[in-house]
Homo-oligomer: A and B are copies of this chain.
Amino acid sequence: MKIGELSKTSGCSIQTIRYYEREGLLSDPERSEGNFRLYSNKALKELEFVKHCRSLDISLDDIKRLIELKNKPEESCSSVNELIKQQLNLVNKRMKELKALKNELQHMASTCNSDNTIEGCGIIKSLDS
């Protein structure tokens, strides 16, 4: 299939597919006589792997590492595990931050009386302090 079809099947934009290729996350596809990219089902699988990783917010660099590891099936998977754990740490950290953030925003919103002028607005006041 050509890139347009791969794009529709995978849900990745054409530009993103070409970008992943440039970044070395997808293997170089065959080319038609007119230099169009030609993809197999294997290529679709590769792309879906990347997509799945991205949906877990794994960075492109880390995805590259995972792909390399995938290609060494005899090695220990402890590095894969390590990577996932680190990702989990990142997520946990970000969640904590977001919780604190949510609390402050909620508190701020509660201090606003919409009939007020900005002069007396509790939100602006709390941002000022």
Could you tell me which A residues sit within 8 Å of B by CB distance? 45, 49, 52-53, 55-57, 66, 69-70, 72-78, 80-81, 84-85, 87-88, 91-92, 94-95, 98-99, 101-102, 104-106, 108-109, 112-121, 123-124, 127-129
Known: A77-B112, A80-B118. A56 touches B101 (CB 8 A): yes
By beta carbon, the residue of chain B nearest A85 is: B109
A101 touches B91 (CB 8 A): yes
B87 touches A118 (CB 8 A): no
Known: A70-B124, A95-B95, A127-B52. A102 touches B118 (CB 8 A): no
Whole-angstrom distance from the CB of A104 to the nearest CB of chain B? 6
